Structure 1
């Protein structure tokens, strides 16, 4: 335990994307993105009772599958 005394843990910055941003990239409305999330087609992370965030890489994969 003493080895950790005074050491700071570096925070990693994780890129996330909003539902609105993902909708713009996918060319659909935000409601469609929310439906994709609830259907399990697009993973999302809930950061509160109403705040959803997506991994941009997941949105990229969905775009590649669609093309």
Structure 2
């Protein structure tokens, strides 16, 4: 390519970027009265995203304590 960059020492991660999603809560509570542990829910979410080709996600949800 005429404008190729020297990426020596860097990382190139191909994939899609999901800039706004709010579906993480569906993994924490997949059905009424069913709650998954946080680690399991987030791992399942991440695995589904990567399997779909999405490597970067901005999820519009706060997890844990929010401090002023």
Higher relative contact order (CA 8 A, sep 6+): 2
TM-score band w.r.t. shorter chain: under 0.3
TM value normalised by structure 2: 0.27
- TM superposition score normalised by structure 1: 0.27
Larger helix fraction of residues: 1
Query: Which has more strand, going by share of residues?
Result: 2
